[in-house]
């Protein structure tokens, strides 16, 4: 029997393949095209607000760049909030994008950016730049450089701190405008120290919680009984931590809450959540098999809530990275002078919120997969440890007055989980005993020693190439953004110079 396809079928197959390839190629232009349309709309809206101003072109340009920065924050920074939940299969990519977009926008519009320092938390001395036109050029340069740097980092697949990017941009422009004396170097020293403190603290806390879960639940004889005792406590810790985190960091615009009051709120929520979840977890665990997979299911729903809460808090705090310099430019144009602090107009907040959400939809999946899947393998338990570590570390850092990056904390927590698993796999007597007991039914005792000993010790559970890429991007973020900002500032001054 002749199984060859007729010539027409072959041609149709080739034509269909060509159309599919063309569609895939064309799809690559859709996201940049939509991003360009968004930036154009932002520019038009800004122009309509200030059509009577003599400096309308400056505000239009600043608004467009602010929208571009917001897109890049959505593409890069939001991955830290939902990446672990997606990587652990607690939620799909589509669900994660929708939840993150909704709660990022809600956080930005409800609780975001009450008052923003135009010099980004005291990085430069405003008195050193008395000319508001020079100040505007500096803020514009900071926005451009930070946006370009975050865009480049997203392209190479490195989650970087947008806060550090904008800080580097402001520092570089400040040095270019008024010299090295304009920079608050003690503040910059504190920020530099956070490069190490943030990921290490996040990693250690995540590893400690994973160690607790393994010791108290995973390697117990009756995992389900252990889970019914410990999972409500762990979920209550998460709820209490997020309550304190949101009270202290995410609700600044609605009400001012100090650290001690936030901690009291956290304790109250912990007790209430613990009481409520005991019967819920017992009901969910009823009839479950005595397996690790059963325990993991108990953490899936809490992970979804943690992703939503992290997104809300991120939107409340980090939208200012996109629109803070834009608000500074708007106010300096309106006042004809340099203002040390400004309130962010509603239309500027909307630009930030919509830009972050759109950037997440168009470009976010790449970094979400990087954080959630490619650094190390995550399951709901490990992802839970990452999310809980992120909230706890921010509270500790805030109490100590340390300027930390949520990006560094979350990614550091992923590193911590992965490296702890490597150490645990190679050194845990409980794990080796369990592996030996499991394999004893299939192989001889002589082979078991090799499996449980040398073979396990050689396992690498964290991809070193990603660690090197991300760590390198972290180290050079501030100096790279600063150098680029200084260059942009000089170009802008040359362009804006009269005559």
How far apart (Å, rounded) are the C-alpha atoms in residues 383 and 213?
12
pLDDT given for residue 260 in this prediction: 85
Nearest to 411 by CA among 478, 471, 476, 480: 471
| DSSP conformational letter for 5 | P
How far apart (Å, rounded) are the C-alpha atoms in residues 467 and 215?
27
Nearest to 84 by CA among 300, 238, 243: 300
How far apart (Å, rounded) are the C-alpha atoms in residues 415 and 427?
18
Residue 111 token pair? 């609780």
How far apart (Å, rounded) are the C-alpha atoms in residues 105 and 107?
5
The residue assigned the tokens 């939840």 is 99
Annotate 215-238 with b (16+ C-beta within 10 A) or e (fewer).
eebbbbeebbebbbebbbbbbbbb
pLDDT tens for 221-256 read: 999 999 999 999 999 998 998 888 778 765 666 677
* Burial (0-12, 13-18, 19+ Cβ within 10 Å), 458: exposed
pLDDT tens for 180-200 read: 888 888 888 877 787 788 899
pLDDT given for residue 313 in this prediction: 76
pLDDT given for residue 361 in this prediction: 87
How far apart (Å, rounded) are the C-alpha atoms in residues 315 and 303?
18
pLDDT given for residue 382 in this prediction: 93
The residue assigned the tokens 């609780």 is 111
Residue 300 token pair? 């899936």
pTM of the predicted model as reported, rounded to 2 decimal places: 0.81
How far apart (Å, rounded) are the C-alpha atoms in residues 314 and 435?
41
405 in Cβ contact with 164 (< 8 Å): yes
How far apart (Å, rounded) are the C-alpha atoms in residues 485 and 172?
5
- Mention every residue, 6+ apart, whose C-beta is less than 8 A from residue 380: 88, 89, 90, 296, 297, 299, 300, 303
How far apart (Å, rounded) are the C-alpha atoms in residues 108 and 168?
23
| DSSP conformational letter for 52 | T
Nearest to 397 by CA among 329, 317, 335: 317
Mark out the alpha helices in 401-463 (DSSP H runs): 406-427, 429-439, 445-450, 456-457
How far apart (Å, rounded) are the C-alpha atoms in residues 37 and 20?
26
pLDDT given for residue 334 in this prediction: 73
113 in Cβ contact with 344 (< 8 Å): yes
Nearest to 327 by CA among 155, 105, 113, 133: 113
Return the sign of the alpha-carbon dihedral for residues 233, 236, 240, 242.
positive
pLDDT given for residue 338 in this prediction: 67
296 in Cβ contact with 381 (< 8 Å): yes
* Burial (0-12, 13-18, 19+ Cβ within 10 Å), 200: middle
pLDDT given for residue 133 in this prediction: 79
What stretches in the chain show pLDDT beneath 70?
A: 1-28, 111-122, 130, 249-254, 317, 320-322, 336-343, 398-403, 430-459, 497-499
pLDDT given for residue 380 in this prediction: 92
Q: Interior CA angle at 282 toward 278 and 287, to 5°?
A: 170
Q: Interior CA angle at 229 toward 248 and 380, to 5°?
A: 65
Residue 363 token pair? 């470009």
pLDDT given for residue 309 in this prediction: 83
* Cβ neighbours, 10 Å, residue 280: 14
């Amino acid at each position: 029997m002749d199984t060859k396809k007729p010539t027409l079928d072959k041609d149709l197959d080739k034509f269909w393949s060509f159309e599919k390839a063309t569609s895939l190629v064309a799809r690559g232009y859709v996201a940049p095209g939509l991003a360009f349309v968004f930036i154009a709309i932002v520019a038009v809206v800004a122009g309509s607000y200030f059509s009577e101003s003599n400096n309308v072109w400056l505000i239009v340009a600043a608004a467009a760049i602010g929208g571009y920065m917001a897109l890049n924050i959505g593409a890069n920074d939001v991955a830290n909030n939902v990446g672990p939940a997606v990587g652990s299969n607690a939620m799909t990519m589509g669900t994660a994008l929708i939840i993150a977009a909704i709660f990022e926008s809600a956080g930005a519009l409800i609780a975001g950016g009450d008052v923003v320092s135009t010099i980004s938390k005291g990085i430069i001395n405003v008195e050193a730049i008395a000319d508001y036109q020079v100040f505007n050029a500096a803020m514009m340069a900071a926005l451009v450089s930070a946006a370009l740097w975050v865009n480049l980092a997203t392209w190479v697949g490195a989650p970087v701190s947008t806060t550090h990017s904008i800080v580097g941009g402001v520092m570089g422009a400040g040095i270019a405008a008024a010299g090295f004396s304009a920079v608050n170097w003690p503040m910059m020293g504190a920020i530099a120290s956070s490069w190490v403190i943030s990921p290490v603290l996040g990693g250690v806390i995540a590893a400690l919680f994973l160690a607790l879960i393994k010791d108290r639940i995973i390697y117990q004889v009756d995992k389900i009984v252990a889970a019914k005792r410990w999972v409500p406590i762990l979920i209550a810790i998460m709820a209490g931590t997020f309550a304190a985190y949101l009270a202290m960091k995410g609700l600044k615009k609605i009400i001012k809450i100090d650290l001690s009051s936030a901690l009291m709120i956290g304790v109250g929520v912990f007790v209430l959540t613990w009481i409520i979840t005991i019967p819920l977890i017992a009901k969910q665990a009823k009839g479950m098999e005595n397996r690790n997979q059963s325990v993991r299911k108990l953490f899936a729903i809490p992970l979804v809530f943690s992703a939503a809460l992290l997104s809300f808090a991120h939107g409340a705090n980090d939208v200012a990275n996109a629109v803070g310099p834009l608000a500074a430019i708007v106010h300096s144009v309106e006042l004809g002078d340099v203002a040390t602090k400004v309130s962010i107009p509603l239309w500027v907040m909307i630009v930030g919120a919509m830009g972050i959400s759109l950037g997440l939809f168009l470009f976010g999946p790449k970094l979400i997969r990087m954080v959630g899947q490619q650094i190390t393998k995550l399951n709901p338990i490990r992802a839970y440890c990452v999310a809980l570590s992120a909230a706890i570390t921010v509270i500790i850092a805030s109490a100590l007055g340390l300027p930390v990056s949520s990006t560094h904390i979350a990614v550091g927590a992923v590193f911590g989980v992965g490296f702890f698993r490597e150490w645990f796999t190679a050194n845990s007597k409980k794990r080796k005993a369990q592996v030996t007991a499991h394999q004893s039914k299939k192989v001889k005792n002589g082979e078991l020693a090799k499996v449980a000993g040398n073979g396990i010790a050689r396992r690498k559970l964290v991809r070193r190439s990603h660690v090197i890429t991300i760590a390198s991007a972290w180290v050079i973020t501030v100096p790279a953004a600063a150098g680029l900002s200084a260059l942009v500032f000089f170009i802008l001054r040359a362009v804006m110079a009269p005559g």
